[in-house]
Structure 1
Amino acid sequence: MKIKVVDFICDHQLMEKNKTILIGVSGGPDSMALLHLLYTMREDWNLNVHVVTVDHQLRPGDSEADVYYVKEICEKWDIPFISSVVDVTTYKKKFKVSTQVAARKLRYDVFREKMNQFQADYLALGHHGDDQIETLIMSFARTTNLHGLTGIPVTRDFSKGKIIRPLLCVTKKEIENYCKKNDIHPRIDSTNHDSYYTRNDIRKSIVPKLKERNSNLHTTMQLLSESLQEDEQYLISEAKKVVEKVITFNENSKKASLWISTFKSYPLPLQRRAFRLTLDYLYADGMPDQLTHMHESIFLSLINEEKNNKVVHFPKQLFIERSYDNLFFYFKEEKSTSKEFYREISEIPARISLPNGAIVAITYVDKFLENNHDKYTYVCLEEQLTFPIHIRTRRPGDRMRYKGLKGSKKIKDILIDEKVPRNERENIYIVADNTDKIIWLIGMKKAILPKTIHKSNYLLFEYIAKD
């Protein structure tokens, strides 16, 4: 078995000589065989080997005995050993996850911490060929995309190094024989035989029948896994290019937007993966468990349907809004962070800071400026206004009159006509006088004010965006 594993390591370039390697050891046959194998390679490869064991406290008495057993072996073989205790029960209750999910999360947290502590280049884990078979079968039963069908990776980036799985080329039986041959007496976890767990049921009832058809099933499944992973990695790399070209991210507020017509020009497999990459960015703390294939279908229907304006709700208060040919991703803000804004200006000159970081500056000027066509400036006579001046966000029922319009129009309808996304409408600011006459919908519409017989100073309003 050692020759097969070493060849596998070399063929897949899993590790180099003269490196530090951390081995996750539970005391079971798989991890003990891996530990012994790397122990025998230690001198030839000049490996700096460390062992870490995690006690999940799920089998009182037995789990402590497992830790003690591994510690004794490491002392016998002169290998540095460290153990950690994690509270799986408390974690699963707090975060409402399964025992397996909680145990894996806490276990990998320990691995990450110890990788940093020992400055390890590799974390070696004892997953083997039968684990790969079981994982792929479980994926076939519940996964709806290629990403979920790729199985256990031979290697992947982890912490500041890599996770490696040198035993994926061998079967459980080969590992058990290796232990017997080398006088290794591993600990046996009784829960591995409990058919209540899906993986155990697959191991006992499905895998043996498949092996009757193909005695080399673990090799077939491993090659399939590697092939699917290579395909997926290529598609993800192409999807990242789509994201860079088409999707705009706002790092400060966890928002994203895309131009639908351009996005739809890419093949559907890239659209799906670009969508998933976008969610990876937005859900920085981890994808919600509630996300399913249904949400991907909702997203695809949103960009393909004829309806121009629609909002859909995703888990954790994520909203996806279609506004004409744009799609916006944003999180709903708490009510306590209301965007309502109001300031009064009685004295000129004045500078008002807005919540979005921009400034409204008001000054006197001697004459009408020729650049008044600029949408970020507005000029009128002081006599045309009733002081104090108000700068505020919009309110229900707000209306204004502007050039080319018969009568007045609701601000809400103007924003719709201007194709302002629903989630951005609360960030639009209004300048009005003390009679609540709206004179400027900043960046969009300017009121035509009644002429006055008096001549007074001109007022210049300027909207200065944040750099």
Structure 2
Amino acid sequence: MNLQMELEKEAEDRGFWSPGDGIVVAVSGGPDSMALLHMLSSIAKRSAITIIAAHVNHGFRVEESAHEMEVVQSFAEQLGVVFESVTLDMPAYIEETRMNGQAASRERRYAFLHQIAERYQASRIALAHHADDQAETVLMRIVRGAGLTGLAGMSLKRREKNVELIRPLLRMNKSDLLRYCEEHHIPYCTDSSNKERYYFRNIIRLDILPYLSRHNPQISQSLQRLAEVAGAEDDWMEKQTDALFAQLVTLSPNECAISCLDLRGLHVALQRRLIKLILSYLSKETEKISFEQIETMRLAASAQAPATWRTDAGAGIRCVREYDGMRFICESQLSSGEASDYWYEAVLDENSLAVEPSGWTFEFVRASASDDCKPVSRYEACFDASELTYPLVVRNRRPGDRIQVLGLNGSKKVQDMFVDEKIAPLKRELYPLLFDAAGKLLWIPGIRRSSHALTSEHTKDVLFIKARGE
């Protein structure tokens, strides 16, 4: 089977494109991308697709790069393919941004490809990575340390923004592509930088793979198979993790929460993946979060770990364990949640008070003793109105706050009450407390009321208060 037929079959099996699709082909001028451009232009009419050749001159090798652009443009015109190009001054851009050279070049190159795709309303961008590139990528990731996703190497296709990146040559060998160029008299350029050992990929290609091939002559094929197997298993694991995310994770603005019991009940591989997926859901900058950080968060959900705990997960996310729950919170949300002290005076004539920082609302009802008002839950309380000093105040906790607990001799720290009731540490800072104007702590709604202003048989006027939390 010739390479064109192989490409068409692969496209049909993998759904690389559909009739009517526009495809932007990234053409550097090397044999791989020139062979891809030739193949796609040859099958374009049969497959009812439109081809646009896109070339980027990065500005590193002035004369050589200019020649490459001329070769690509001339070949595209020969094939009757639309040609688009851009010339960049990457050395100046790298100096300005202090970015890694390869990363900066990739960023600008892909931005241009997306720009051309949008201009021509193309739904695909075709990249000319081949099987030997895949082997190099997998070996690079092994050397640097990678999990199953890294071992999967480059994907045959994936969504990026509004288009799909496809790699139609990913299962074809470099030698076959070179032979294809010779057979079809396809011009191509050789990038002199491919021989410079300044780049890690070149060291892999020129030194490490040849050395390993002494011990395994089929090393490239072995690495390609590893990528194939790892890719299939990674895809299955990803689907399992997506399903668990939908089933177990509670979502709220800038936050994800999961039960520690649910998390530790999963296989360790799924625990790690689910944590990574949660972090990726909250931030697009999670690439630098290390295995050790993931492991720290995973172990924090264990039964033996402290009941309350927090850590900076990286990428602007904080991971917090609060008793039986684990929360992953964006720092922006924490900044707003950990607000400064608040203080609200209750105007009883208005009947209700919204304490916005806490998300709680208080309702006030004046009644006579004959109305027989009785609280039915810890979120309701009755006070002898004549024994209160007004105005009443709702505020959050301050260091040293204590409550004269009903039914106990002496007072107790509010902090200790929160711990006893397993109030999450992040919620403690905003939890509302009801005081009178004399500074007496009357009530911690939902937890305990004080022994102040109790109603009795002598009470004439009752203040009935109901609190509703988040």
Structures share fold, TM-score greater than 0.5:
yes
Structure 1 212/182 Cα, relative in aligned 2: closer, same or farther at 3 Å?
Answer: farther
CA contact (8 A) 2:249 2:257 kept: yes
Partner Cα separation in structure 2 for residue 65 and residue 352 of structure 1: 74
Partner Cα separation in structure 2 for residue 188 and residue 19 of structure 1: 31
- Residue among 133, 153, 156 paired with 2:155: 153
Superposed CA deviations along residues 50-90 of structure 1, whole A, max 9, x for unmatched, are 12223333334544443343233323322222234556557
Partner Cα separation in structure 2 for residue 215 and residue 33 of structure 1: 26
Partner Cα separation in structure 2 for residue 399 and residue 147 of structure 1: 53
Superposed CA deviations along residues 157-186 of structure 1, whole A, max 9, x for unmatched, are 233342211112222222222223322222
Matched AA of 1:462: K
Which stretch has the larger CA shift, 8-17 or 269-278?
A: 8-17
The residue aligned with 2:398 is 395
1:410 aligns with 2:413: yes
The residue aligned with 1:77 is 79
Post-superposition offset of 1:210 = 4.5
Structure 1 54/448 Cα, relative in aligned 2: closer, same or farther at 3 Å?
Answer: farther
The residue aligned with 2:311 is 312
Superposed CA deviations along residues 309-341 of structure 1, whole A, max 9, x for unmatched, are 322222245322223222222244449973421
CA contact (8 A) 2:286 2:314 kept: no
- SS at 1:167's partner residue? coil
Structure 1 322/89 Cα, relative in aligned 2: closer, same or farther at 3 Å?
Answer: farther
CA contact (8 A) 2:455 2:462 kept: no
Post-superposition offset of 1:220 = 4.3
- Residue among 409, 430, 433 paired with 2:433: 430
Post-superposition offset of 1:195 = 0.9
Which stretch has the larger CA shift, 172-181 or 132-141?
A: 172-181
Superposition pairs for residues 268-417 of structure 1, below 5 Å? 268-283=268-283, 285-289=284-288, 291-304=289-302, 305-332=304-331, 333-334=334-335, 338-353=339-354, 354-367=356-369, 370=373, 372-417=375-420
Post-superposition offset of 1:34 = 0.6
1:228 aligns with 2:230: yes
CA contact (8 A) 1:366 1:457 kept: yes
Which stretch has the larger CA shift, 205-214 or 429-438?
A: 205-214
Partner Cα separation in structure 1 for residue 382 and residue 87 of structure 2: 70
Structure 1 64/340 Cα, relative in aligned 2: closer, same or farther at 3 Å?
Answer: farther
The residue aligned with 2:245 is 243
| Unaligned stretches of 5+ residues in structure 2 | none
Superposed CA deviations along residues 368-411 of structure 1, whole A, max 9, x for unmatched, are 66551323332212212101111111111111123333311111
The residue aligned with 1:42 is 44
Post-superposition offset of 1:226 = 2.2
- SS at 1:187's partner residue? coil
The residue aligned with 2:450 is 447
CA contact (8 A) 2:368 2:460 kept: no
Structure 1 204/435 Cα, relative in aligned 2: closer, same or farther at 3 Å?
Answer: same
Which stretch has the larger CA shift, 136-145 or 272-281?
A: 136-145
Partner Cα separation in structure 1 for residue 96 and residue 447 of structure 2: 49
The residue aligned with 2:462 is 458
Matched AA of 2:51: V
1:7 aligns with 2:17: no
- SS at 2:275's partner residue? helix
CA contact (8 A) 2:275 2:298 kept: no
- The number of equivalent residue pairs is 462
Partner Cα separation in structure 1 for residue 164 and residue 120 of structure 2: 14
1:143 aligns with 2:161: no
Post-superposition offset of 1:98 = 1.8
Structure 1 452/4 Cα, relative in aligned 2: closer, same or farther at 3 Å?
Answer: closer
Partner Cα separation in structure 1 for residue 235 and residue 60 of structure 2: 36
The residue aligned with 2:31 is 29
Matched AA of 2:10: F
Matched AA of 2:301: I
CA contact (8 A) 1:29 1:176 kept: yes
Superposed CA deviations along residues 216-253 of structure 1, whole A, max 9, x for unmatched, are 655544333222111111112112222223222222xx
The residue aligned with 1:255 is 255
1:191 aligns with 2:190: no
Superposition pairs for residues 124-135 of structure 1, below 5 Å? 124-135=126-137
Matched AA of 2:122: A
TM-score, reference length from structure 2: 0.89
Partner Cα separation in structure 2 for residue 350 and residue 182 of structure 1: 86
Matched AA of 2:423: V
Partner Cα separation in structure 1 for residue 70 and residue 381 of structure 2: 78
CA RMSD of aligned residues (A): 2.7
- SS at 2:225's partner residue? helix
- SS at 2:128's partner residue? coil
Matched AA of 1:227: V
Partner Cα separation in structure 1 for residue 372 and residue 271 of structure 2: 48
CA contact (8 A) 1:20 1:119 kept: yes
Superposed CA deviations along residues 8-60 of structure 1, whole A, max 9, x for unmatched, are 33343433344221111122221111111111111222211112223333334
Partner Cα separation in structure 2 for residue 147 and residue 83 of structure 1: 33
- SS at 2:300's partner residue? helix
Post-superposition offset of 1:441 = 1.4
CA contact (8 A) 1:349 1:364 kept: no
TM-score, reference length from structure 1: 0.89
Identity across the alignment (%): 26
